[in-house]
Chains A and B, each alone.
Chain A
């Protein structure tokens, strides 16, 4: 598992779930780096920036699709099990596709952001199950995200 700013976010969201001490954890974050409520944005921004810096060959369509997906992720952050946020990033250098992927005991879920503005969702199950879908930028990002996070 790659350590990225999303990993820190996962931990922070987990700690904040405490009913009695969630606010203490929020305030500690506030005292250390960010202002209240901005932690999640900052972590997602940091992750996005690290992706853009690492893979500086991404074109505008890819960046826009990534931003849309992260915006949807931000919206649902506090409503999902933080464990589902263990997401890795990579670049397929031959095709210049940005790849976000996560692994579960069921298999590997992947989202490819290609240069033509498409997002390709692929799931390869350990039991041989395969799922594939190609979407353009009018896709319902939230639904796509849930699909990506559920398997």
Chain B
């Protein structure tokens, strides 16, 4: 038996060991604790001054689906919701929520950046922000605000993504969190909360963002504790 033979045997055993380790390290325990209620039932149609109205503007879909339906990014959520609310002054606020029980690298909640671009929008501004929403279980929510444009349509967007007990402000943080937790054998759920409003000109975004925070405050104040926990709590 020469050096090559022993090398071959050791290397082969190492490879079989790696294959076994990969199987052993794959997380099997599913995170429990997320309510199984449907989002439709969890989110009231009346949120303080905001009332749900029939949608008049086509909302940007939660999916980055190609118009021919052939996009590889087509993703199916366990639950999702798209609604429009109106306040007494006639402002129209759009809200989109997507929920998935299990987040994996290949199967994470899509970031709005991807959905908007896939649907023909141009992202004019996109900044990380710390949202302080009245009534939210987490005093500070790490989210993002974007100004998007498609032809003559200008849309101001605020959103956050919660994965497990972490608000992941960018895709790398999501990826790292999901993989690190997965290596520890833990699987987490994920939720995207996105609100948006059409604005007449880029200068109006500050007013719009303030209104979006107000709307999110009204949302949080009118939800059950289970629902606020689902959308915006880091205690999971």
Say whether A and B bind each other. Answer: no
